[in-house]
Amino acid sequence: MKSLIQLAEEEIKKYASIVESDPNRLRYHLMPPVGLMNDPNGLIYWRGEYHVFYQWMPFQTTHGAKFWGHYTSRDLIHWQTQVPALAPDEWFDRNGCYSGSAVDNDGVLTLFYTGNVKDDQGVRHTYQCMAISNDGLHFEKKGVVIHLPDGYTAHFRDPKVWKHENTWYMVIGAQSAQLDGKAVLFRSHDLVHWEHVGAIAGGENGNFGYMWECPDVFRLGGKDVLIVCPQGLQPEGMHYQNVYQAGYFVGQMNYETGQYAHGTFTELDRGFEFYAPQTMVDEYGRRIMIAWMGVPDQDEDKHPTIAYRWVHALTLPRELVLVGDKLYQRPIEQLQLLRSDEVHYPNVSLHKETMQFDGVKGKTVELLLKHIEGQGVLSIDIQNDVSFSYDFEKRVATLQRESFARQGEKEKRQCVLSNLRTLHIFIDTSSIEIFLNEGEEVFTARFFPHEKNEHIVFKTNGRAAFHLYKWKLC
């Protein structure tokens, strides 16, 4: 009998030519070779290579019994496809090897993930599991290391493990028996026996969502950051516009008591498609974050790529920097390796006009606007489908696109920003990532123009001045 991993590899071969023929296929982002991709998992720099695993459903473009797909890289830019790392083939993970993380345990690459099981009555069970590898490519499952503790429903998943002063810690995304979202801490001396410390953060009486997914805890700039994805927040003005959220708290963790004193929740991204971020430390000691360029249950079945047997992608790797209590996200420097065909327009000045610049167009483009000043509204229209604008009077940034789910509808996401100094935009065929003021805010989105074109159009109803740089990428 063929193994699930063999079947998944056959599926890749079977559909490779149709997947690759999709004009919306990205050029410099990680995508599934076939099927559905969601969360990045197990990010780690290990023995000179970066490993990015991901939630993967090879056999369909909807969610289901997930595998861990696997990519490796020496520079976070050029990637190799590796053999799928985990398949849902054991009693403790048969309905999915759900999200988790990786650590180096004395030279052994060690994965933690959630075994998702639905029993014959359709009741969910959850197990936190471990798998190990000596070569970083082939993994041996070691089975269950944590069973569901009292006080939580079976929505208990996504273990992120790290080491603090010779002790291992794990944070898990959870739903309490009272149906509040929580982040739950465990500790261990050997990665096998885990002590349940308790919830370090979470809602109370339904005030902050019914479930928290994909937590991550790390030290940055002398503070402890908790990233988490709450489900069940209601939209509030410009906030919480997506179906589910991804954001963070900043505070101090007391590892003795297991108490985490923290401030308020801040969203990580202001665009449409962003969820389940995970971080790792790179070879230079920087904190790098990669997220899923998608949101669960948010028009997932409407992506045009489904016609080509694949759906979703991961974001670019972004370096995190803490400025005060705000996380800034910067596209990693290595992305400059992809640049060619530089075009530079110093001292651009627009006055109540619409402009296109020679050489500033394309499908895979990096745009940089520096020293921006203006009055009224400055907007940049891309491929006649998605448009970014900034209102210098109202101090509001807006990303608008043609909905790919509801034809003829325009939809937008916004945030307040006290001034706009720089704009750094990465366009990759059907994805866009816009970094404002060196990553103070970021808008991430997919877009699918009806008519393929390469236009980038600048417009102002007032006045705008900036230095403009453009590179072709790839």
Q: Which residues of this protein are in contact with ligand FRU, per CB under 6 A?
A: 38-39, 55, 66, 98-99, 114, 157-158, 213-214, 275-276, 296
Q: Which of 298, 300, 279 is nearest to 290 (CA)?
A: 279
Closer to ligand FRU by CB, 214 or 369: give it. 214
Q: How far is the CB of 67 from ligand FRU (least distance, A)?
A: 10
Provide the CA 191 distance to its chain's centre, in angstroms: 26
Radius of gyration of the chain (CA): 22
Query: What is the CB neighbour count within 10 angstroms for residue 10?
Result: 12
**Which residues are marked as active site?**
39
Q: How far is the CB of 139 from ligand FRU (least distance, A)?
A: 17
Between the alpha carbon of residue 425 and those of residues 164, 381, 403, 448, 459, the distances in Å are 36, 12, 20, 17, 16
Q: Which of 63, 3, 17 is nearest to 39 (CA)?
A: 63
Q: How far is the CB of 41 from ligand FRU (least distance, A)?
A: 8
Q: Which of 131, 125, 226 is nearest to 172 (CA)?
A: 226
Closer to ligand FRU by CB, 191 or 293: give it. 293
**Residues 364/454, Cβ–Cβ less than 8 Å:** no
Closer to ligand FRU by CB, 66 or 262: give it. 66
| Cα dihedral 51, 280, 29, 305 sign | positive
Q: How far is the CB of 330 from ligand FRU (least distance, A)?
A: 24
Q: How far is the CB of 451 from ligand FRU (least distance, A)?
A: 32
Degrees, nearest 5: CA angle 325-179-293: 50
φ, ψ of residue 301 to 5 degrees: the values are -80, 0
Question: Which residues touch 406 (CB under 8 Å, ≥6 apart)?
Answer: none
For residue 296, what are its two tokens?
């669960």
Q: Measure the CA–CA gap between 77 and 222, rounded to whole angstroms.
A: 29
For residue 406, what are its two tokens?
């509801």
Closer to ligand FRU by CB, 100 or 362: give it. 100
Q: How far is the CB of 193 from ligand FRU (least distance, A)?
A: 23
Closer to ligand FRU by CB, 106 or 119: give it. 119
Closer to ligand FRU by CB, 113 or 388: give it. 113
Closer to ligand FRU by CB, 214 or 288: give it. 214
Q: Which of 471, 359, 448, 408 is nearest to 24 (CA)?
A: 448
Contacts of 89-94 with CB under 8 Å at 24 or more apart are: 89/3, 89/4, 90/115, 90/141, 90/143, 91/117, 92/117, 92/127, 92/129, 92/143, 92/144, 93/117, 93/127, 93/129, 93/141, 94/65
Q: How far is the CB of 12 from ligand FRU (least distance, A)?
A: 19
